[in-house]
Each structure stands twice: as structure tokens, then as C-alpha cells.
Structure 1
């Protein structure tokens, strides 16, 4: 017997959590959405959200249909050489995007973000908080710079995101031949220093 008002685990439960999460993220934005709120909407125990998705960041990636764990990818970049963070980010993103599965999903995500306000809000907040914002905060902490003001985190993260989203649009949506043909190394070398300046400006 399950507790009254709670849905038991199973395939339908996972789908219910995704549906609830999609609605909460769209209505409230990434920051204001909580695992408990999603669980309440899905009528499940919060432990089931963690069981199926491992936390809010992974759940958000599942809602956006991202074929990778953003937290693990960003963690690996931040733990690598500090002076190569910019280039590492470019290579990391391209390694996901250029897979057959990644390309199809990312094209769909970009098109949705361009045409749907809800998708735009979710992608914007996720990139500035969980991806590039996390890089800024962790690099500042490792350098002993202390806490970076919120507006600085958002500005740096937003500028870094603009570079990578711009690259994605030109490579996967507009398909500019020179950008499509460029290798990961070429793009990392050319874009890396710009990202480095945004994310680790004191280096």
C-alpha cells in the first residue's frame, strides 16, 4: 500500500515527474523550482525524484532532453587545468553536440528556445546558473577570490553562454559551411580565449 495521495514507483511515475517538472520549470523558472514542489505536483515522494533523476540539475537535463549529465561534464572541466577552462568547455560542448543523438536533440532544443518563451526561460536560467554560472563561482572559489557578486556571475555566465549558443546556431541551425567544417581543435583554439576571459578574468 502506498501513502494516500502518493503515486507508487514505476514507468508512469517517471513520466509523471517529467511532466510535473516541465510545468514547474516553465512556470517558475529554474531557480524557483524545487524538487519538493515537483514531487508535490507529481503526487510522489521527493525521494522518488532523486531515485529516478538524481537531483534538480539532472532532472532539468532530462526535461530538455540533453544527452549528457551537465554536472559531471562541468565538474570535469573545472577540475582540469585552470588556464585551459575556455578551450575545455568548447571541446566538451562539441563532444556532446556533434554526436548523432546530441545533434538532433540540440537542434530541437535551439529551435524550441527561439520560438517558445517557456523553453527560452528554462534554457537561459539553466545555462546561467547550472552551467556557466557554476564555472564562474567554482573558479573564483579555487582562486581564493571569495564570493562573486550575483550580477557579476550572471553577466560573465551570460556572455560565455552567448558565445556557445552563437556557435551552436551557426553550426547546427544556420549551418554556415566554414563553421560546420571546422574541427573541435580549431574552434577550441579560436573561442577558448574569449570564454576564458569571461569565466576567469583575473588569470
Structure 2
């Protein structure tokens, strides 16, 4: 039932039944749109790429390459935000589901965790996903490559008596230069 009034005629109008709400009434806010607004407020980013060989340096052909995602609420999560419309609030929480690392040479590695920063104690051992490490055994050719990290965020939202899930992706890149070790003999 809706109480209708006609502008300029204070006694005109009255209660009226509509099977569906008239345009502009009822239905409440679009909860999925509120969830998207909450995701925007989180300011999610792609991976904060850590890489060995270090940025600005030169790696060596055949030497393992290590990558990791520097942890923060905007790069690994979890992080939350809310959006409100017409008295209904939707709260969304996002966490990284995985990072797909493309090394620019046809090698792709999927890591469901941030990865472990390289330490000199690892030596020339390749990264092992079993140990929470991400990377690859090494480049086979001299060159300059672009490492691309595509982060998939899993988002769960709750509000207005409903809940749902969505995913969103963010991408970041880092250059890596690979050279060769020259042996000088007599």
C-alpha cells in the first residue's frame, strides 16, 4: 500500500495498492552496487613486487629468480570497507586469493601466498612453493624482461540481510635485466 498525494491538491490522493512498487519507490538499494562501492573504498592494489635479482641490478642466466608480494592491507589483505545507501550498509572484506607471476619469457607461476623475500642463506637454490616461496629456476637468455604480477582478490560482502562473493584483479609490473657471466681464461 502506498499513500499517494497530488501536488497542489492537499486533499487529493490517498492509499493505493500496487502489485509492484511505482517507479522510484521500494526495492531498496542495489546491494551488489554497494559491495562494489565498498571495494573501491578499499583501494586494492596489485602486488608490491619484491624481486631477486634486485631492481636496478642485473641477474645472471640460469640463476633462480625469486618474487614476493610485500604485505600490506592494500596488497595482501585482509582489508574491509563499508558503503551505505537508503539506510542499508554493506560491508566487504577482501583477501588475496593468489598472484599469477608472468616472467616475460613464457614462464608463469601461480602462488596462493605472498612468497618469501630472498635471503643470501638460500644461495642458488630455486624457490620452492612447498616452502611458501615463489619464483622460477632462472632465465635461459640474456635480456630485459618485464615481470607481471596479476593479483586476484576474493571479496565477501554482507548487508541488507544478504551476502555474496565477488573477485577482482589488479596488476603490477617490475623490470628485470639478465646478463651472462664471462669467464676469462689463459
Question: Going by fraction, where is helix more abundant, 1 or 2?
Answer: 1
User: TM-score when scaled to structure 2?
Assistant: 0.21
Q: Which has the larger radius of gyration?
A: 2
Instruction: Answer 1 or 2: higher relative contact order, Cα 8 Å, separation at least 6.
Output: 2
- The structure where strand makes up a greater share of residues is 2
